[in-house]
Structure 1
């Protein structure tokens, strides 16, 4: 079957909408003359289709396939359209869990590796911690062109989890350096005790995190992750303080008094926890997301974050801003924390996903001087740096942060229209194209996501009942209308 396009008027919104016709040849392709997709196309009766199911069966013999949605044909995928193993063409508003800045096979990107110098970095993966290539300093300087205000240092790593994990280590090192004063780092007492996992070499310190947070799946990160139990169960965790993240009521303008009180309560709790843990496991720092992503796209006001930063300054503890999902322009600013207009920058900002590589920016105060303290063999993948450099050029030259802001406003307007028309939807919210809306419960949310997929739209779920959008930075208003049109049909089918 194929998807035919039409126009449907919904209140004040006009959506491009897709309707199914069951007799279209499976070989039909939604391709324009220049070889780009201009709409979704479904050729199997269900997703995953027979080819994906066969691949799943083969993989399951030697691999846990419980998290696999379907297999993809990345060679055929283009822009905002993902092609699965069965040939279904999906309008992808999820983009590899918020990881593709410019969609699939962006023009000219494949040619990067026709350049021998770029190909050399693929063939010879450098151990960056010990043996970086001659152009590594240039790569670091490229990263620093987008460094958050006030942060003049950067370390590269492989992924979001290891970025946050090593950020914790850097914060602990900074905290202990100030506690130690003139005492030598490698005193006999420190050396002997750390090798036995005992103080003072292994100090009893903590990182404060927030309910609903997700910071990764390594052991330290899991201790600060509180979004899904499946990530954490059976895994030992550090006994570290957990503060409530504000639970705002929507529409925000109708609940200002209640939301202000909720944020004040949560901020007071943060201070109380810092005070209470001083004698148990002193808080060296806190970590927070500008928007809690995996926890259900939960927002707080800019004023809340400013006051939280002031609390960290007051108690002289570190402030880590986790921009793994929100970084690289999707929020309408290059860094989502830019909206806060802080008097003092975060001490550390972590990144990954759309940034192609992982790592963190940090202040001069955090900087350490000894080798091997933040270290692993690879320290990122140098073969990805040419893609990062070209991506940053496109983001800047095309002003894709402004585009995300404009398209996101249009998308959010459509979600708010849904909220008015469907009583099982609520709390439409977002910044840039980092948008979400809540269903009435988990089953309804899952039904929306599954039915949308069968109609050619790939979106995601998070939290208990949230539908989330994570499109690329080249997502257009026309594609937003198409997504809203498909969703409108889905909502009508699901509506009681």
Structure 2
């Protein structure tokens, strides 16, 4: 059976909602930051990397050697239950992850398939830790709530539905949720001025007051506070270092786990391996995914304050596969290439080039785009209304550049880590040409 590229959307549409891009990805002809549309024969410049999941773009030379293809093929034939049956390949991956991607203050790892499930297991870790502490103190089984922020996106399953609250309400509407404390997000407005800094400082204090109020209203019942270092789906919202450091103090004072959701921002995108490393604090739990292929959590030794924590008692955290082995092996190779080719550093360098270019376009067309911002390659800008934003993204797409929307008025960039200066300049040329004519 052979389905033609022109038949792909119709075939999918017979069985499922097929409302993605109208291109049809050619898995062989797509290379690096070039996506080949087998339907039209057109190449697109990749500014989205499959929702920030492809750190090397498509078909990196190191991923397509005969040895790698042979190894990946052999592993893909079987799907062992990694939680109970171990392999040399899994051990090699975990060792590379521990050495290349795991900061020194983390002591525990858990792997699972899916970012939302990574968040859920981080929350379960915090619940168990907090409730056991409360039982030891004689205050009962309290510790069942999580403080989170407006415009957060943490997933679409279970516990995460109670925290996700982005512009598109279809993600959570009508699904049963917990009424956990939701805090105003003191996001930064760019460019920075004395007035904007004063404004964000005031909103930070308001957020802290809301957090303290939630803790006072729910004594002993807050297990964790969770935040994205940069809110992605919620609008590429940035926060100041001082705010993160204040949150760290609050979590210490009130015995809450500090959970950082790095599923979109992690693995080099911001010019550091983990985005939180820009802000000089250490979280208790980091959830990872997307670029790592396999998802999971890293947990510090704070969890060991409770002797029978989830990493000490069997079956407290588990899943059938514990992440897929083929994803682990792919992640291992990605991490090795990222290190060998200094791609975290490249993300910092090319990200500065991208941001400077966006700022220059904003300066030329201030009535059309605003609020250019970014760390590393995690860059974005705003358009005046949701409708104009969507229209501008569509025109950028028509001109050959794949970018994403987020929040209500934002266009975001998520290119592969190995994007070149030439490709950055090409992307900026497309954006400027499109904005000028818009």
TM bucket, shorter chain: over 0.9
Give, in angstroms, the shift of residue 70 of structure 1: 3.4
TM-score (normalizing by structure 2): 0.92
Residues 113 and 119 in structure 1, CA contact (< 8 A), matched pair in contact too:
no
Q: Distance in 2 between matches of 1:72 and 1:340?
A: 38
Q: How large is the Cα RMSD of the aligned pairs?
A: 2.0
Cross-structure match for 2:185:
245
Aligned pairs for 1:57-456 within 5 A: 57-67=10-20, 69-86=22-39, 87-111=41-65, 118-145=72-99, 146-181=101-136, 205-227=144-166, 228-254=168-194, 255-278=196-219, 282-342=221-281, 345-366=282-303, 367-368=309-310, 369-422=312-365, 423-456=367-400
CA 397–166 in structure 1, closer or farther in 2 if over 3 Å, else same? same
Residue ranges of structure 1 left out of the alignment (5+ in a row): 1-50, 184-198
CA 182–302 in structure 1, closer or farther in 2 if over 3 Å, else same? closer
Q: Distance in 2 between matches of 1:263 and 1:182?
A: 32
For the pair shown, the structure with the greater C-alpha radius of gyration is: 1
SS of residue in 2 equivalent to 1:66: coil
Give, in angstroms, the shift of residue 383 of structure 1: 1.3
Residues 144 and 153 in structure 1, CA contact (< 8 A), matched pair in contact too:
no
Residue correspondences, number: 424
TM-score (normalizing by structure 1): 0.82
SS of residue in 1 equivalent to 2:238: coil
SS of residue in 1 equivalent to 2:230: coil
Give, in angstroms, the shift of residue 170 of structure 1: 1.1
What CA deviation, in whole Å up to 9, does each residue of 1:387-444 have, x standing for no partner? 2222212211222111111111111111111111111211000000100000111111
Cross-structure match for 2:306:
none
Give, in angstroms, the shift of residue 74 of structure 1: 1.5
Q: Distance in 2 between matches of 1:133 and 1:297?
A: 39
What CA deviation, in whole Å up to 9, does each residue of 1:135-161 have, x standing for no partner? 433322221112134112111111211
Higher relative helix content: 2
Q: Distance in 1 between matches of 2:368 and 2:69?
A: 53
| Structure 1 residue ranges, 4+ long, deviating more than 6 angstroms after superposition | none
Q: Distance in 2 between matches of 1:116 and 1:483?
A: 35
Q: Distance in 1 between matches of 2:199 and 2:136?
A: 45
